[in-house]
Structure 1
Amino acid sequence: MSVWTRPALWWRLAIVISAGLGLILGTASLVYFTIESNVIVLGYFAGAVYWMARRGTTDAPAPRLRGAAVLYITITGLVAHILLNHGENPLPGLVSGPDRLQHWSSFFLHYVTPVMVMLDWLCLKPRNASQWRDLPVWLSFPLGYAGLTLLRAAVFPHFPNAYPYFFLDPTENGYGWVAGQIVQLTVEFIALGAAVVGLDRLGTTVARRLKPATA
């Protein structure tokens, strides 16, 4: 059976389109973690589609890089919905009000793409490819992002949008408060990364247990 008839390839192509639309429709720059994580997703899944088409396989390449992309885009979705939007329903802005293109961009970047990537992680192969030792490597990117943001703002105080997120801005509460925010987020990201690895392994366990029953 040709790989072009397999849902996995078309699902991953849809992820590329979703991330691409989010980036094209919006005006945000690379100073935002949202944009960086979506660029990573776009690059990885575009490469995955190419790999799958060339190799005739439904397995995505570089599973550890795939796990990193899953973690980063999940962080983007959860931070945006919970911390930045305070759980607000994103749908009304898509059909009414000003800046609808910006709302659509945000919807793709913060909701559609993260959900699609997580479903890819849960449902498509390869399975059981991530390792617990991958967590420190995965976490180096969001922690490095925070550190570089603070360093850039200190060295270039007039840099446009020096503090893209309120929890990295020491202007009102000082660097001690920012450090506390980073520690809290790090703990949450560790738990989220552990969930990403755990879900990968859980899916394999469930599939293995169901296989004899359906044979």
Structure 2
Amino acid sequence: PPLIHFTVLANLLVAVAFGWSAVRSWRGAPPLPPYLTGGMLLLAAITALMHHLVLVNYPETPAPGTGWSLAATLLLHTVTPLAVAADWLLLTAPRTLRLAHIPLWLTAPAAYLGLVLTRGALLSPGSPTRYPYPFLDVDTYGYAGTLTQALALGLLFTALASLITAVDHIRPNVAGWIQHRGNRISPPAAGGLK
């Protein structure tokens, strides 16, 4: 089932966050807190990087196919992560992410690991898609090997989260520049669009 894949779950979380952000914007509420936007960026980056750098190198990974399957693969692994990165870069204020946010961000991949291992233990051996990713396959690597690989990935995700936080502190304030320009139809003190 597709819902067990990290890609699908991460994209669902991103969709909920974007929807919530749109509602808040429409109501005139403040934007989402930085710990949420940073977390969504990390999930999107993990999704894209794991697909493009890791999964494509596993022979067990099915090819994306054609038609809807190819479109879904492109949307979930490339388009959405790029949209999340563009949203973060263009529409959020810089220098708001903190190293203290990283443990919170890593709870999603850690919870996913727990879900996959618990689900795999409950399904009978030989069940199709018992372990949705080859590097989390306990039947192949055992628990020690799987947890070692998961720990290595966790360290890489921590480094990626640290990189995102560092980039946040040196990136330009594009969002502030966009807000400062204002709308071109009404003068600055005239209120909304006329």
Q: What is the TM-score with the length of structure 1 in the denominator?
A: 0.72
Aligned to 2:169: 201
Name whichever structure is richer in helix by fraction. 1
1:66 Cα deviation after fit: 1.3
1:36 equivalenced with 2:9 (yes/no)? yes
Given that 1:169 and 1:178 are in contact with CA atoms closer than 8 Å, whether structure 2 keeps it comes out as: yes
1:72 equivalenced with 2:43 (yes/no)? yes
Given that 1:122 and 1:199 are in contact with CA atoms closer than 8 Å, whether structure 2 keeps it comes out as: no
Matches within 5 A, 1:170-209: 170-203=138-171, 206-207=172-173
* Fraction of identical pairs, as percent: 30
* Counterpart selection for 2:95 from 103, 128, 148: 128
In 1, distance between residues paired with 2:122 and 2:140?
A: 19
SS in 1 for 2:72: helix
Aligned to 2:120: 153
1:60 Cα deviation after fit: 2.9
Matches within 5 A, 1:79-118: 79-86=50-57, 99-118=66-85
1:138 corresponds to which letter in structure 2? W
Structure showing greater radius of gyration is 2
Aligned to 1:60: 31
1:173 Cα deviation after fit: 2.5
In 2, distance between residues paired with 1:182 and 1:134?
A: 20
Given that 2:93 and 2:173 are in contact with CA atoms closer than 8 Å, whether structure 1 keeps it comes out as: no
In 1, distance between residues paired with 2:119 and 2:72?
A: 27
Q: What is the TM-score with the length of structure 2 in the denominator?
A: 0.79
In 2, distance between residues paired with 1:156 and 1:86?
A: 26
Hey, which bits of structure 1, 4+ residues long, moved more than 3 A?
A: none
Aligned to 2:22: 49
In 2, distance between residues paired with 1:44 and 1:153?
A: 29
Q: Which structure 1 residue ranges, 5 or more long, are not aligned?
A: 1-27, 88-92
In 2, distance between residues paired with 1:162 and 1:182?
A: 17
1:38 corresponds to which letter in structure 2? N
Superimposed CA distance per residue, residues 2-27 of structure 1 (whole angstroms, 9 cap, x where no aligned partner): xxxxxxxxxxxxxxxxxxxxxxxxxx
SS in 2 for 1:172: helix
* Counterpart selection for 1:164 from 108, 128, 132: 132
Cα RMSD of the aligned pairs, angstroms, is: 2.3
In 2, distance between residues paired with 1:122 and 1:207?
A: 8
SS in 2 for 1:162: coil
Aligned to 1:3: none
In 2, distance between residues paired with 1:140 and 1:46?
A: 22
Q: How many residues align?
A: 169
Q: Which structure 2 residue ranges, 5 or more long, are not aligned?
A: 59-63, 178-194
Aligned to 1:15: none
